[in-house]
Amino acid sequence: MKTIRSRGIALACSCLLVAPFWSFAQVAPEPAVAVPDNTAMASSSTESVPSLEDLGLPPAPSQNNAQAQTTSPNPAGENAGTPQTQQDQTKPGNAPSLGDLGFSTTQTQGSAQQQALLDKRTHMLKVHQTLGLITAIPMAATLISGPQAKAKGKNGQVITEPTDANLDVHIALGGLTTGLYFTTAYYAMFAPKIPGVKPKGAIRLHRDLEWIHGPGMIATPILGIMAYKQENAGEKVHGIASAHAPVAYVTAIAYGAAIVAVSWPIHWKFWEK
């Protein structure tokens, strides 16, 4: 019994002696942990990991090459900014034909024929207007030379016959006026007509006056020839031949009114297109 107590006392004493050293061991600093070298780890990792070339794969593009590829222009669009490409882009396409727009061949031919008809009518009426203004010049000269081409001296006075020069000038001017007049009338009568179009206003007045100066231009030369024959026979102008001068004046007035009806104000530079 005493032996057990002595052993317990001895064990308690030894524990008291060892306790300070045990606490010191617990609070003592731990030794520093060594940081591995990155370079060594990288070299070891590269040595341990096989490369893409070792595996038979193509090398991966670098970051600079990838950026260059993404920012580089498309090879197909390299010529997009060239002048030739811009010209091709701005070049208009083929214009649609009348058939593409839904017009049949009959309709297009009809339109072409009508346009040709209008062009011909316009041309002939312009010639008619030009010749009409030209005809007015010898017509006025014929009226002026008329009194000098007839015999003078009546009511018992000595008859003075006109000279040959006066007669020739008057006849020449009358013939020129007649020729120009009927040439002018030809372009008006044979100009293509437009169906369903009726003259109005000044055009209608112009055509109505034709019924006055037209017959007058036929009657005036005939009466002038009759008067000329009577005077050459030594006779006094008589009968219907004496109406040669009045008919000529009425014809000239009606002709002038027809010109003014469609040409006012009159453009003297009628030769300009």
**Residue range 121-148: mean pLDDT, rounded:** 94
> Structure pTM?
0.56
At 42 the pLDDT is: 43
Residue 79 placed within a domain: no
Task: Answer for the pair 128, 184: CB distance below 8 angstroms, yes or no.
Answer: yes
Residue 158 falls inside a structural domain? yes
Examine residue 95 and state whether it is found in any structural domain, yes or no.
Answer: no
What span, in angstroms and rounded, lies between the C-alpha atoms of 125 and 128?
A: 5
Q: How far apart are the first and last CA of the chain?
A: 159
Instruction: Tell me, yes or no, whether 83 lies in a domain.
Output: no
What local confidence, expressed as pLDDT, does residue 33 receive? 45
pLDDT digit string, tens, across residues 192-216:
988 888 888 888 999 999 999 999 9
At 53-94, the pLDDT tens digits run 565 555 655 555 545 454 455 544 454 445 555 555 555 556
Q: Write down the residue that tokens 């005493």 correspond to.
A: 2
In a domain, 201, yes or no: yes
* Burial track 109-139 (b if 16+ CB lie within 10 A, e otherwise): eeeeeeeeeeeeeeebeebbbebbbebbebb
Residue 116 lies in a domain: yes
Number of domains in the chain: 1
- Tokens standing for 187? 């372009």
Whether residue 159 is contained in a domain is answered as yes
Range of the domain at 193: 109-263
Give the span between the Cα atoms of 255 and 229, in whole angstroms.
27
What mean pLDDT value characterizes the chain?
A: 73
* pLDDT tier at 262, thresholds 50, 70, 90: confident
Report whether pLDDT(165) > 90. no
Look at residue 124 and tell me if it is in a domain: yes
Residue given tokens 């015999």 in the structure block? 151
Largest CA distance in the chain: 215
Confidence of residue 45 (pLDDT cuts 50, 70, 90): very low
Cα Rg for the chain, rounded, in angstroms? 62
DSSP letter for each residue of the chain? -HHHHHHHHHHHHHHHHHHHHHHHHHHSPPPPPPPPPHHHHHHHHHHHSPPTTTTTPPPPPPHHHHHHHHHSPPGGGGGGGSHHHHHHHHS--PPPPTTTTT--HHHHHHHHHHHHHHHHHHHHHHHHHHHHHHHHHHHHHHHHHSGGGS-B--TTSPPBPPPHHHHHHHHHHHHHHHHHHHHHHHHHHSSPPPTT----HHHHHHHHTHHHHHHHHHHHHHHHHHHHHHHHTTPPP-GGGGGHHHHHHHHHHHHHHHHHHHHSSP-S-TT--
pLDDT at residue number 31: 46
Both structure tokens of 261: 């009806």
Pull the structure tokens for residue 225: 């020839």
